[in-house]
Amino acid sequence: MSDNKWEELIDLIDTKYTIDVSEKIQESLEDDPALKRDIQRIEFEKDNVKYRIDRVTSPAIVDKKTHYSHAGSANRVQYVYDKTETSSKVKFYQLMPDGTYGEITPESMLAN
C-alpha cells in the first residue's frame, strides 16, 4: 500500500470511527538483525468491536534460499534482502475474546 493510500485509509477511519491508538514501531528482522522493519499501527472501535491495522514496511526480498538437511527435508529458509528497496503490506486484526488480536481479512470488517 502506497503512502498516499495509507494516509487516505487513516483519514477515513479517523473520520468515521476515531482512532484510539496510533503508533510507529521499529523492530529488527528475525533472520537479519542489522535490517529493520517499520510498523505503523492504528487501533479503533467499530460497532463495539476493536480492530487493529498494521502497515509493515520492510526491505524487499530479492531471493529465498532453502537449506536442506541430509535427510532431504527443508531445514531452514534464508531470505536475501535488498538494502535500498522496501515493500509494504497491510494486515488487519480483530480483538478476540481471549484478549489477543487475531488476523482477519479486510472483507470481514465490512460484514460487521
- Tens of pLDDT, residue by residue over 51-82, are 999 999 999 999 988 878 777 676 778 888 99
How many structural domains are present in the chain?
1
Within a domain: 76: no
Ranges of the chain with pLDDT below 50: none
Within a domain: 69: no
Within a domain: 71: no
DSSP H or E stretch at residue 98: none
Within a domain: 65: no
Within a domain: 31: yes
Give the pLDDT score at 4.
92
**Boundaries of domain holding 9:** 3-59+85-111
**HSE on the CB side for 32, CA within 13 Å?**
15
Grid cell for residue 69: 538437511
Within a domain: 54: yes
Give the pLDDT score at 68.
80
pTM: 0.82
Cβ atoms of 38 and 58 within 8 Å: the answer is: yes
Within a domain: 105: yes
CA 71 from centre of chain = 35
